[in-house]
């Protein structure tokens, strides 16, 4: 319901002797053409408005020069084995030695990577030692990708996916687009595996397209490991999100991005700090406290009638536990300007004053009068000044209970 939206050792790529003179005329992929409306949460972009003073301060000069300087995005990816061992291996682990598994070639990966013509022509001459105009170039690239073999021993293997950008401004642009793609995926409810899987497929496709444009702005620090990482992203037996491991027996590996994981932990800590402050503030407003508590109960699929009968200490404890586990969702409930009205509607439904259909989200009066097709429409109904008398009537009824 949507009511409460509360080391693979390879040679590195040598830096090109000259930088591209003009990237504005190069072909753009679909991802580049997408308009990014929201800036990434952790990145500040400089104000592009004209400066009125004739001279810039040293700080402004440094900031502008910094954006035009070369920048290295240091990243390490860990490819791990799924620890799904047989009982025999568990018992005889010491004598059998470390587990080995191989990521081989993939038709899907080869076709996808071969489709990125500009990227292939930028990277593979250095990797293969032949020019992109050589008659055998395409067949050599295809042979390379079709014979990839990456063996993981003992559980984990690290890949250096660091990337050098000619200008820091290019890195910020790419990161902004990447963050937008990941944010769209992270908005999908984790309890809906079907939608989550569809979202993961869309995310991986968009990230691959975005990665295929980065050659215009720089080069990988370790080209072989970077190509291997791109292959792993497209490999069907590698999970890009650990949540899918237990639901798919064909997954033998999973990817961990140390930088993203660190950023996720940092964001979680910040969200928890905000959640704690919100709990303290809610304690000063009984009606808002009760409204947020009911939103949490609804999101946790708890029985609203039972929740209303719990004492304040029990409600506070449950609220704190939820805020600790899901601080982002909790903070959304707190910041919802209609959270009190939504709780009012949910209470009316529990008390039998309003009826929610068993087979859809439609809400009606006990006499069958239409209120709204869903909770949001019901909120709009009671926010309408023309229906204020109806709202007051229900408020009086609840006071008598």
Instruction: Tell me the Cα Rg of the chain.
Output: 28
Long-range contacts of 25-33 (CB under 8 A, 24+ apart): 26/118, 26/216, 27/118, 28/213, 29/209, 29/210, 29/212, 29/213, 30/209, 31/177, 31/206, 31/209, 31/210, 31/213, 32/213
Mean pLDDT of 183-191: 84
pLDDT at 274 over 90: yes
pLDDT at 32 over 60: no
Helices 137-146 and 117-128: crossing angle in degrees, nearest 10, is 80
Mean pLDDT of 70-76: 92
Q: State the Cα–Cα distance between residues 158 and 225, nearest whole angstrom.
A: 9
Residue 371: band (very low, low, confident or very high) from pLDDT cuts 50, 70, 90: very high
Q: State the Cα–Cα distance between residues 295 and 156, nearest whole angstrom.
A: 41
pLDDT recorded at residue 372: 93
pLDDT recorded at residue 47: 41
pLDDT at 228 over 60: yes
Strands (E), 129-272: 150-153, 156-160, 163-165, 218-220, 238-239, 253-257
Q: State the Cα–Cα distance between residues 267 and 22, nearest whole angstrom.
A: 37
Q: Which residues of 228-248 are buried (b: 16+ CB within 10 A; e: fewer)?
A: bbbbbbbbebbbbbeeebeee
Question: How confident is the model over 285-311, as pLDDT tens digits?
Answer: 999 999 999 999 988 888 888 888 899
pLDDT recorded at residue 20: 46
Question: How confident is the model over 106-123, as pLDDT tens digits?
Answer: 888 899 999 999 999 999
pLDDT at 99 over 70: no
pLDDT recorded at residue 87: 53
Q: pTM of the full predicted structure?
A: 0.54
Q: State the Cα–Cα distance between residues 184 and 239, nearest whole angstrom.
A: 18
pLDDT recorded at residue 301: 87
pLDDT recorded at residue 89: 45
pLDDT at 203 over 50: yes
Residue 94: band (very low, low, confident or very high) from pLDDT cuts 50, 70, 90: low
Q: State the Cα–Cα distance between residues 14 and 346, nearest whole angstrom.
A: 63
pLDDT recorded at residue 92: 55
What ranges do the domains of the chain cover? 30-251, 266-400
Count other C-beta atoms under 10 Å from residue 380's C-beta.
14
CB within 8 A of 77, min separation 6: which ones? Answer: 158, 159, 161, 229, 232, 255, 256, 257, 258
Q: State the Cα–Cα distance between residues 178 and 185, nearest whole angstrom.
A: 11
Question: How confident is the model over 140-175, as pLDDT tens digits?
Answer: 999 999 998 888 877 778 889 999 999 999 999 999
Residue 176: band (very low, low, confident or very high) from pLDDT cuts 50, 70, 90: very high
Classify burial at 62, counting beta carbons within 10 Å of its beta carbon; exposed 0-12, middle 13-18, buried 19 or more. Answer: exposed
Q: Given the structure tokens 């929740």, which residue do they identify?
A: 307
Our CA angle for 372, 374, 375, nearest 5°, is 95
In the predicted model, what is the mean pLDDT of the chain? 80
pLDDT at 45 over 80: no
Q: State the Cα–Cα distance between residues 204 and 226, nearest whole angstrom.
A: 16
| CA distance readout (Å), 211 to 174, 230, 285 | 9, 8, 49
Which residues on neighbouring strands pair with residue 100, listed in sequence order?
153
Q: State the Cα–Cα distance between residues 348 and 297, nearest whole angstrom.
A: 15
């Amino acid at each position: 319901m949507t009511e409460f939206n509360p080391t693979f050792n390879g040679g590195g790529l040598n830096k090109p002797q000259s930088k591209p003179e003009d990237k504005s005329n190069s072909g753009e992929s679909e991802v580049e053409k997408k308009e990014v409306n929201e800036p990434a949460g952790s990145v500040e972009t400089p104000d592009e408005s004209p400066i009125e003073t004739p001279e810039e301060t040293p700080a402004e000069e440094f900031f502008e020069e910094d954006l035009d300087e070369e920048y290295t995005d240091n990243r390490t990816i860990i490819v791990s084995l799924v620890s799904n061992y047989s009982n025999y291996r568990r018992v005889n682990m010491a004598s059998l030695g470390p587990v080995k598994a191989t990521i081989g070639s993939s038709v899907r990966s080869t076709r996808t990577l071969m489709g990125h013509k500009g990227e292939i022509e930028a990277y593979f001459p250095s990797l293969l030692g032949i020019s992109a105009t050589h008659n055998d170039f395409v067949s050599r690239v295809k042979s390379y990708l079709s014979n990839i073999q990456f063996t993981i021993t003992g559980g984990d293997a690290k890949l250096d996916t660091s990337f050098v950008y000619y200008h820091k401004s290019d890195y910020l642009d790419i990161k902004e687009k990447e963050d937008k793609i990941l944010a769209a995926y992270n908005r999908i409810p984790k309890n809906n595996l079907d939608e989550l899987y569809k979202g993961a497929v869309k995310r991986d496709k968009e990230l691959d397209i975005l990665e295929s444009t980065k050659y215009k702005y720089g080069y990988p620090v370790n080209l072989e490991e970077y190509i291997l990482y791109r292959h792993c992203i497209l490999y069907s037996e590698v999970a890009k999100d650990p949540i899918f491991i237990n639901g798919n027996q064909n997954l033998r590996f999973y990817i961990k991005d140390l930088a993203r994981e660190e950023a996720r932990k940092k964001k979680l800590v910040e969200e928890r700090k905000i959640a704690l402050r919100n709990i303290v503030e809610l304690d000063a407003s009984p009606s808002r406290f009760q409204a947020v508590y009911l939103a949490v109960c609804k999101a946790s699929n708890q029985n609203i009638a039972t929740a209303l009968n719990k004492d304040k200490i029990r409600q506070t404890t449950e609220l704190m536990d939820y805020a600790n586990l899901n601080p982002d969702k909790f903070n959304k409930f707190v910041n919802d300007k209609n959270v009190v009205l939504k709780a009012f509607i949910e209470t009316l439904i529990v008390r039998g004053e309003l009826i929610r259909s068993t087979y859809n989200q439609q809400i009606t009066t006990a006499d069958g009068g239409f209120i709204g097709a869903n909770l949001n429409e019901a909120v709009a109904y009671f926010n309408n000044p023309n229906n204020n008398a109806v709202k007051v009537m229900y408020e009086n009824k609840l006071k008598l209970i």
